[in-house]
């Protein structure tokens, strides 16, 4: 697991560093992708690389919002940034713990199926309200219930429980405690930011309070932590590639030097 460190860089430096990461990823990801697709972790590798790209887009927007003083957008965007990171870390750890590609297959199979089922269910429900006589589908059955239950594996709380309960025995007690405290803090942030994402009054109150205090410090904190999340996600992906290829941390060391 790649652990995070405090960073005292300024927002414009985060932007510059993120640009360096993006350029390096653009140059190296095609080769890494080709290598990973030859491993037994094809589905998991695809998911990790996809989340890397999507994390990069979120990080860029958070840094831009931070640089322009857009505190509320930072709050809204930072929550999915945490969730992307949790899912990425979970699949990384789960694939290695199980020595199997099944978690990646469930991500693209069970989770994708459940998302499609939920979207169809909601659209059908809303359509029925406008067109009561329109044909509707019965999506409440044992098969769909089973899919929904299995998809809960990728909920952020379930991921948190798994990561807390599956510490590597080789990790020292200090690092193990740090990991638990780190994950707990991220989950607290995720929970507190929910209201901002959904337009709730708690999000409004938090936003107004941040404006009254040191909004510059809040903006820098969002920039710093977003960058650290994305950086760690990138490093973890490159480390995964090294572990598949046995290349003595070649990819991981290269991205560390770039950063």
Residue-level pLDDT at 139: 64
* Nearest of 240, 249, 256, 248 to residue 42 by alpha carbon: 240
- CB atoms closer than 10 angstroms to residue 148: 15
- 3 belongs to a structural domain: no
Residue-level pLDDT at 141: 66
- CB atoms closer than 10 angstroms to residue 78: 26
Question: Whole-angstrom Cα distance, residue 62 to residue 258?
Answer: 21
Give 130-167 pLDDT, tens digit per residue: 888 776 666 666 667 778 888 999 999 999 999 988 86
- 1 belongs to a structural domain: no
Give 79-95 pLDDT, tens digit per residue: 999 999 999 999 999 99
Which of 27-31, 90-94, 176-180, 218-222 is the least confident region? 176-180
Query: Is pLDDT of 129 > 80?
Result: yes
- 209 belongs to a structural domain: yes
Sign of CA dihedral 146, 96, 160, 111: negative
- Higher-scoring residue by pLDDT: 85, 4: 85
Query: Is pLDDT of 126 > 50?
Result: yes
User: What total number of domains does the chain contain?
Assistant: 1
- Residue 17 belongs to what domain range? 11-100+156-258
- 138 belongs to a structural domain: no
Question: Whole-angstrom Cα distance, residue 65 to residue 230?
Answer: 16
Question: Whole-angstrom Cα distance, residue 220 to residue 103?
Answer: 35
- 122 belongs to a structural domain: no
- 2 belongs to a structural domain: no
- 250 belongs to a structural domain: yes
Q: If you search the block for the tokens 């965007």, which residue do you land on?
A: 77
Q: Interior CA angle at 42 toward 38 and 48, to 5°?
A: 120
- 129 belongs to a structural domain: no
65 Cβ contact partners less than 8 Å away, ≥ 6 residues apart: 71, 73, 74, 77, 222
Q: What percent of the chain has pLDDT over 70?
A: 87
169 Cβ contact partners less than 8 Å away, ≥ 6 residues apart: none
Residues 214-220: contacts with CB within 8 Å, 24+ apart? 215/69, 215/71, 218/71, 218/74, 219/11, 219/66, 219/69, 219/71, 219/74, 220/10, 220/11, 220/66
Question: pTM value?
Answer: 0.88
């Amino acid at each position: 697991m790649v652990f995070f460190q405090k960073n005292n860089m300024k927002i414009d430096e985060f932007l510059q560093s993120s640009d360096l990461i993006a350029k390096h990823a653009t140059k190296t990801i095609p080769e890494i992708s080709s290598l990973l697709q030859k491993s037994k972790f094809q589905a998991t590798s695809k998911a990790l690389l996809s989340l890397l790209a999507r994390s990069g887009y979120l990080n860029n927007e958070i840094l831009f919002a931070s640089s322009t003083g857009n505190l509320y957008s930072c709050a809204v965007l930072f929550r999915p940034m945490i969730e992307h990171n949790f899912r990425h870390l979970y699949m990384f750890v789960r694939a290695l713990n199980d020595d199997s590609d099944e978690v990646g297959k469930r991500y693209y199979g069970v989770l994708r199926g459940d998302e499609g089922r939920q979207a169809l269910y909601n659209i059908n429900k809303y359509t029925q309200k406008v067109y009561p006589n329109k044909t509707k589908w019965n999506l409440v059955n044992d098969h769909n219930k089973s899919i929904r239950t299995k998809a809960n594996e990728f909920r952020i709380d379930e991921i948190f429980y798994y990561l807390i309960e599956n510490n590597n025995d080789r990790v020292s007690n200090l690092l193990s405690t740090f990991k638990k405290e780190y994950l707990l803090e991220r989950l607290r942030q995720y929970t507190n930011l929910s209201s901002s994402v959904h337009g709730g009054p708690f999000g409004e109150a938090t936003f107004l309070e941040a404006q009254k205090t040191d909004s510059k410090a809040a903006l820098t904190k969002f920039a710093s932590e977003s960058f650290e999340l994305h950086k760690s996600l990138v490093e973890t992906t490159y480390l995964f590639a090294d572990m598949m290829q046995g290349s003595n941390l070649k990819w991981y060391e290269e991205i560390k030097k770039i950063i």
